[in-house]
Chain A
Amino acid sequence: DTAVSQTPKYLVTQMGNDKSIKCEQNLGHDTMYWYKQDSKKFLKIMFSYNNKELIINETVPNRFSPKSPDKAHLNLHINSLELGDSAVYFCASSQARSGGGTGELFFGEGSRLTVL
């Protein structure tokens, strides 16, 4: 039973195309995230949803649009792909901690996007 699953694992596409990555978690967590990992392995938060509501939206081009149909799913749609969008995109989930702060994140295996 995969806790956080994301599909597809690999995406190769041409500049200008639109693509989507899907994520599902079966942990019952209330918060889900999208992180982007660049070629130097630096991880940057893109979006965070809590119970289907957007709570974090970092400086990300509006070509990126997250959608959370329910608290177990968080999808990422990217319009008009550019070369610089090539990266590994990670979905993650967590449960709120009493006393504040963020608890342990559970990550998916990543979706490697290559834009040609």
Chain B
Amino acid sequence: SQQGEEDPQALSIQEGENATMNCSYKTSINNLQWYRQNSGRGLVHLILIRSNEREKHSGRLRVTLDTSKKSSSLLITASRAADTASYFCASSSGSARQLTFGSGTQLTVLP
């Protein structure tokens, strides 16, 4: 079964605005990761947050993690047209050597 659900499925904003995407997962995790996928390309890792962390920043990205609600959010500030892509959360649970991906959010940033 799919571990993660993302919300919204699609998001369209104007350049310069902030974009927030949410992810929920079902089991306890070791870490949660966010990936980006441009159309027709492979996934690229953006940021990893460990289960004992609550917030992490990387450039214009801010990730939060709430393990009590089993949820995470990705905030992209001051969005650019080049941020247009699909964004996926992925969870690492237990001893399994794999990531389970969410359903993804398609972000469109209009110039």
Contact = CB atoms under 8 A, between A and B. Distances in A.
Interface of A: 4, 31, 33, 35, 40-45, 48, 50, 55-56, 90, 92, 94, 96-97, 99-110
Interface stretch (B56-64, B68-76, B96-104): B96-104
Given A56-B96, A103-B48, A104-B48, A43 B42 contact: no
Enumerate the 10 nearest inter-chain pairs by beta-carbon distance, A residue then B residue, closest first: A101-B30, A107-B42, A102-B92, A43-B101, A101-B92, A104-B45, A107-B43, A109-B42, A101-B31, A45-B98
A109 B92 CA distance: 22
B43 A90 contact: yes
Contact of B104 (A41, A56, A96, A101): A41
A39 to B, nearest CB: 12
Nearest to A33: B98
Contacts of A44: 101
A45 B43 contact: no
B86 A41 contact: yes
A33 to B, nearest CB: 7
A94 B96 CA distance: 13
Given A101-B30, A104-B33, A104-B48, A45 B41 contact: no
Given A41-B86, A42-B103, A102-B30, A108 B97 contact: no
B88 interface: yes
Contacts of A35: 101
A71 B94 CA distance: 23
6 contacts: A40-B103, A41-B37, A90-B43, A102-B97, A104-B48, A105-B35
A109 to B, nearest CB: 5
Contacts of A99: 30
A101 to B, nearest CB: 3
A43 B99 CA distance: 10
Specify which of B35, B97, B101, B104 lies most central, judged by the most chain A CB atoms within 10 Å of its CB: B97
A55 B41 CA distance: 27
B78 interface: no
Contacts of B44: 107
